[in-house]
Amino acid sequence: MDTSYFHFQEVLPGTAAFDDYQEARYDVFCEELGRVEPTGQFNRRGHPIETDRYDDHSRHFIARHKESGIVAGFMRVIMPNPLGLNVMDRYTISEPLPYGVRISQIGEISRLAVTPRFRRRHEDEGKSVQGDPESEMRGRPEGMRQHQPELVLGLYREVYHLCQSEGVDYCVAAMDRRFSRLLNTLGFPFLAVGPVNEYVSPPRRVFLISAAEMEKSLGSRENCILRFMQTQLERLQPAAPLAMAA
């Protein structure tokens, strides 16, 4: 799917796009942030990649800047699988979970990142969806950048459409306080389902979101964002109900 400035696509193992994706994961999580220990693996180009045991049970997505073709963001969704969830290795999840859902039914939003060049700046404040990345990437120091909204919401739209098509009604994600607060402000009803892990930087905890509750929240508070999330669904499935069953 496309937005004004970005093209979003699912990437499949063995393709050049998948190589781009795993290289970007290495650049952000291993080199820039140091959150993931390098595995020492390389792709067919001879470039280092970031990968783990959950990749075979995941669906993978990248966002490219349309004008330049550069990878601007990426993520994966770990589908319900025999290994469980990646967050369970480092975070405590308190049970019983809200909505009566079981861990075996949950997907995980994982390895979500915006590459440095496309992290939005303060002049984009208040733009809930759109924003020209070229003008936002100039004129302020690196430390003033924040996530570009069209890019982040576009990635979350990919999560929503994937889960709608696969019948996964709930997802978890490990997030820091700032990012979870931003998403809740936009109308995404993420619920904390475990304590903060103070041993990761920045400290994070696991949050759970329900697709049905998200639709209700966005519909009552941020209907423009709900329309953005459902645009392609309306085009592809004009006669089908949009809500996922709770």
Does residue 243 sit within a domain? Answer: no
Does residue 20 sit within a domain? Answer: yes
Does residue 245 sit within a domain? Answer: no
DSSP 34-76: --S-----B-TTS-B----TTGGGEEEEEEEETTT--EEEEEE
Cα(181)–Cα(114) distance, rounded to whole angstroms?
18
Cα(20)–Cα(53) distance, rounded to whole angstroms?
19
Question: For the chain, what is the radius of gyration of the CA atoms?
Answer: 17
Phi, psi dihedral angles at 136 (to 5 degrees): -80, -20
pLDDT, tens digit, for every residue of 189-236?
999 999 999 999 899 999 999 999 999 999 888 688 888 898 865 443
Say how many C-beta atoms besides its own lie within 10 A of residue 93's C-beta: 17
If you average pLDDT over residues 77-102, what whole number do you get?
A: 96
Closest CA to 183 of 149, 158, 159: 149
Cα(69)–Cα(43) distance, rounded to whole angstroms?
20
Residue 63, pLDDT score: 96
pLDDT, tens digit, for every residue of 165-190?
999 999 999 999 998 998 898 889 99
pLDDT, tens digit, for every residue of 118-142?
875 444 444 433 344 555 444 444 4
Residue 150, pLDDT score: 83
Mean pLDDT of the chain: 85
Percent of the chain with pLDDT over 90: 66
Tell me, what CATH number does 157's domain have? 3.40.630.30
Does residue 191 sit within a domain? Answer: yes
User: 170 and 189 in contact (C-beta within 8 Å)?
Assistant: no
- Residue predicted with more confidence, 242 or 135: 135
Say how many C-beta atoms besides its own lie within 10 A of residue 237's C-beta: 13
Evaluate the omega torsion of the peptide bond into residue 241 and state whether it is cis, within 30 degrees of 0.
Answer: no
First to last CA, the chain: 26
Handedness of CA 171, 177, 182, 188 (dihedral sign): positive
Segments forming the whole domain that contains residue 209: 6-236
pLDDT, tens digit, for every residue of 96-121?
999 999 999 999 999 999 998 887 54
Does residue 19 sit within a domain? Answer: yes
Does residue 178 sit within a domain? Answer: yes
Does residue 55 sit within a domain? Answer: yes
Q: Which residue has the tokens 């783990």?
A: 52
User: 205 and 86 in contact (C-beta within 8 Å)?
Assistant: no
Judge whether residue 75 has pLDDT over 90: yes
Q: How many domains does the chain have?
A: 1
Query: What stretch of H or E contains 208?
Result: strand 204-210
